Chains A and B, each alone.
Chain A
Amino acid sequence: MRTPRLLAGGVTTALLLSACMGGTQDNGKDAAAGYDPQATVELTWWTGQTEDAEKVAESLAAEYHKLHPNVTIKTSPGAPTTDDLLTKLSAGFTGGSYPDISYAYGNWAGDLGASGKTQDLTSYVADPSFKWEEMPAAARTVATADGKVIGVPALVDNLALLYNKAIFDKAGVAYPTDDWTWDDFRAAAAKLTDPATNTYGTAYSVSGSEDTTWHLWPLLWQNGGQILDGTKPAFNSDAGVKALDTLRAMAVDDKSMYLDQTDEKYHPLFNSGRIGMIISGPWALLEIKEAKLSCGVANMPGVNGDHQTVSGPDLWVLFNHDDVNRAGASRDFIKWLTSAEIDAKWNLAVGNLPLRTSEKDSPEFAAYVKEYPGGQKFFDNLANAKQARPTVPGYEVLSRNVGDAIASVLQGKSSAKDALDAAAKKSADAVEN
Chain B
Amino acid sequence: MAVTFAASSRAFAQPARRRRSARRNLTGWAFAGPATALVAGLSLFPAVWAFFISRAKWNGIAPATQVGWANYQRLATDPDMLAAARHTLLLTALFVPASIFLGILLAVALNQKIRLIGFYRTCIFVPYVASAAATGILAGFVFNPQFGAANDVLRHLGIPAQQFLESPSQALYVICLIALWGEVGFTTVIYLAALQDIPRDLVEAARMDGAGKWRVFRHITLPELRPVTVFTAVWQTITAMQLFDLIYTTTRGGPLNSTQTVVYYIYELAFQTQRLGYGAAAAYLLFAVTFLLTLLVIWYGRRRGSEVF
A residues whose Cβ falls under 8 Å from a Cβ of B = 13-14, 17-18, 20-23, 86-87, 89-91, 93-94, 111-112, 114-116, 206-208, 261-262, 393, 396-397, 400, 404, 407-408, 411, 413, 426, 430
In the bound complex, do residue A93 and residue B61 qualify as a contact, i.e. CB atoms below 8 Å apart?
yes
In the bound complex, do residue A261 and residue B64 qualify as a contact, i.e. CB atoms below 8 Å apart?
no
Q: Contact string, B138-149, partner A, CB cutoff 8 A, digits 1/0?
A: 000000000000
In the bound complex, do residue A407 and residue B272 qualify as a contact, i.e. CB atoms below 8 Å apart?
no
Q: Contact string, B110-131, partner A, CB cutoff 8 A, digits 1/0?
A: 0000000000000000000000
A218 to chain B, nearest CB (A): 23
B274 at interface, CB cutoff 8 A: yes
The stretch from B208-216, B250-258, B285-293 touching chain A is: B250-258
**29 contacts across the A-B interface (CB closer than 8 A):** A17-B49, A18-B64, A18-B66, A21-B53, A21-B64, A22-B64, A23-B63, A86-B61, A90-B59, A90-B60, A91-B60, A93-B61, A94-B60, A114-B62, A115-B61, A207-B254, A261-B255, A396-B272, A396-B273, A396-B274, A397-B273, A400-B268, A404-B257, A407-B255, A407-B256, A411-B168, A411-B255, A426-B79, A430-B275
Closest-by-CB residue of A relative to B64 is A21
In the bound complex, do residue B256 and residue A408 qualify as a contact, i.e. CB atoms below 8 Å apart?
yes
Residues of A within 8 Å of B61, CB to CB, are 23, 86, 89-90, 93, 111-112, 114-115
Extra A-B contacts (10), CB below 8 Å, given A17-B53, A111-B62, A208-B254 = A13-B48, A21-B52, A91-B60, A93-B61, A94-B60, A115-B61, A207-B254, A208-B257, A400-B268, A411-B255
Residues of B within 8 Å of A408, CB to CB, are 256
Closest-by-CB residue of A relative to B49 is A17
Question: Quick one: given A13-B48, A87-B271, A397-B273, are A21 and B257 in contact (CB under 8 Å)?
Answer: no
A403 to chain B, nearest CB (A): 10
Identify which of B64, B251, B256 gathers the most chain A CB atoms within 10 Å of its CB. Answer: B256
Other-chain residue from B59, B63, B272, B274 in contact with A22 (beta carbon distance below 8 A): B63
How many angstroms from the CA of A28 to the CA of B273 in the assembled complex?
30
Other-chain residue from B64, B255, B271 in contact with A206 (beta carbon distance below 8 A): B255
How many angstroms from the CA of A115 to the CA of B268 in the assembled complex?
21
Closest-by-CB residue of B relative to A20 is B49
A17 to chain B, nearest CB (A): 5
Closest-by-CB residue of B relative to A87 is B271
B residues whose Cβ falls under 8 Å from a Cβ of A = 48-49, 52-53, 56, 58-64, 66, 79-80, 166, 168, 251-252, 254-257, 268, 271-275
How many angstroms from the CA of A393 to the CA of B275 in the assembled complex?
11
In the bound complex, do residue A411 and residue B256 qualify as a contact, i.e. CB atoms below 8 Å apart?
yes
Closest-by-CB residue of A relative to B74 is A429
Residues of B within 8 Å of A13, CB to CB, are 48
The 8 closest A-B pairs by CB, nearest first: A114-B62, A90-B60, A21-B64, A23-B63, A115-B61, A17-B52, A396-B273, A397-B273
B295 to chain A, nearest CB (A): 25
How many angstroms from the CA of A115 to the CA of B61 in the assembled complex?
5
Chain A binding surface, main DSSP class:
helix
Closest-by-CB residue of B relative to A91 is B60
A115 to chain B, nearest CB (A): 4
Closest-by-CB residue of B relative to A408 is B256
How many angstroms from the CA of A13 to the CA of B272 in the assembled complex?
28
Residues of B within 8 Å of A14, CB to CB, are 52
In the bound complex, do residue B62 and residue A23 qualify as a contact, i.e. CB atoms below 8 Å apart?
yes
In the bound complex, do residue A116 and residue B257 qualify as a contact, i.e. CB atoms below 8 Å apart?
no
In the bound complex, do residue B274 and residue A111 qualify as a contact, i.e. CB atoms below 8 Å apart?
yes
Residues of A within 8 Å of B257, CB to CB, are 208, 404
In the bound complex, do residue B273 and residue A21 qualify as a contact, i.e. CB atoms below 8 Å apart?
no
In the bound complex, do residue B49 and residue A116 qualify as a contact, i.e. CB atoms below 8 Å apart?
no
Residues of A within 8 Å of B59, CB to CB, are 90, 111, 114, 393
In the bound complex, do residue A116 and residue B275 qualify as a contact, i.e. CB atoms below 8 Å apart?
no
Closest-by-CB residue of A relative to B52 is A17
How many angstroms from the CA of A411 to the CA of B166 in the assembled complex?
11
Closest-by-CB residue of B relative to A113 is B62
Residues of B within 8 Å of A262, CB to CB, are 252
A338 to chain B, nearest CB (A): 24
How many angstroms from the CA of A20 to the CA of B49 in the assembled complex?
10
In the bound complex, do residue B52 and residue A18 qualify as a contact, i.e. CB atoms below 8 Å apart?
yes
Closest-by-CB residue of B relative to A22 is B63
A254 to chain B, nearest CB (A): 20
Identify which of A13, A18, A20, A408 gathers the most chain B CB atoms within 10 Å of its CB. Answer: A18
Closest-by-CB residue of B relative to A260 is B166
Residues of B within 8 Å of A89, CB to CB, are 61
Question: Quick one: given A21-B53, A86-B274, are A261 and B63 in contact (CB under 8 Å)?
Answer: no
A251 to chain B, nearest CB (A): 13
How many angstroms from the CA of A396 to the CA of B269 in the assembled complex?
10
In the bound complex, do residue B254 and residue A261 qualify as a contact, i.e. CB atoms below 8 Å apart?
yes
A286 to chain B, nearest CB (A): 25
How many angstroms from the CA of A204 to the CA of B206 in the assembled complex?
67
B87 to chain A, nearest CB (A): 15
How many angstroms from the CA of A412 to the CA of B184 in the assembled complex?
37
How many angstroms from the CA of A93 to the CA of B276 in the assembled complex?
15
Closest-by-CB residue of A relative to B268 is A400
A273 to chain B, nearest CB (A): 15
Closest-by-CB residue of A relative to B269 is A397
Identify which of B60, B79, B275 gathers the most chain A CB atoms within 10 Å of its CB. Answer: B60
A165 to chain B, nearest CB (A): 25
A136 to chain B, nearest CB (A): 26
Residues of A within 8 Å of B48, CB to CB, are 13, 17
